[in-house]
Structure 1
């Protein structure tokens, strides 16, 4: 277990993200919508949002604006996964956070 944690730290990411991950800034909007990079976007049915502690967060409970996030889109262009980033994660380019083993 210790080796796994050390390996993740060596890559500079505690949370590996899937290959199609994008980076943006998010502001909550009336559910099921959110604003990403100034554009009104729709959350997909069953969308998941993880907070900075990697716990599931309800979309209606998120407060703040211009939150640094990583996110993915489904094949229809809706947002299906969102990760609220810590300041440390936000400083690392998204390309270095992607888990190439997870496709």
Structure 2
């Protein structure tokens, strides 16, 4: 026989959960209003603001090239076969991480960074047409 049968009552647990949800609902609604939504960022005129891709910044040691995705762990950039580092990251035009194997056989203009000690490809960004027209940080 349990010592505290009141705590094991399913009806009481349901009532306690409903009471707790009722008390916490105003707090969670107020908290949700203070968190800005990433997808709902608009300008005062109601149009979409500057695109995420236009806001990307690249490191000073970035290089530009045409990348063809080959079977990993190798990629071809400007006709040269490069091996990827174990932590290789490929970011699409919207700055989202993508798996390179899903793009196998496709060709992209990219900014990329070579890892200095191994000379392997460490990170690459698939560029938008606007970014392709822009100069590299080292050319500014």
TM-score computed with the length of structure 2 as normaliser = 0.57
Structure number with bigger Rg? 2
- Greater than 2 Å deviation, 4+ residue runs: 95-98
The answer as to whether partners of 1:22 and 1:70 remain within 8 angstroms in 2 is yes
C-alpha RMSD of the superposition: 2.2
Match among 82, 97, 100 for residue 56 of structure 1:
97
1:61-84 C-alpha deviation (Å, 9 max, x unpaired): 12522x110000112100000000
The answer as to whether partners of 1:15 and 1:97 remain within 8 angstroms in 2 is no
Matches within 5 A, 1:1-103: 13-63=54-104, 64-65=106-107, 67-75=108-116, 76-95=118-137
- Report how many residues are paired: 87
Q: Distance in 1 between matches of 2:139 and 2:128?
A: 13
Q: Bigger relative contact order, structure 1 or 2, given CA contacts below 8 A and separation 6+?
A: 1
Relative to its length, the structure with more helix (as a share) is 2
Where does structure 1 lack aligned partners over 5 or more consecutive residues?
A: 3-8, 99-103
Report the CA distance shift for 1:96/1:74 in structure 2 as closer, same or farther (over 3 A): closer
Relative to its length, the structure with more strand (as a share) is 1
* 1:6 aligned partner: none
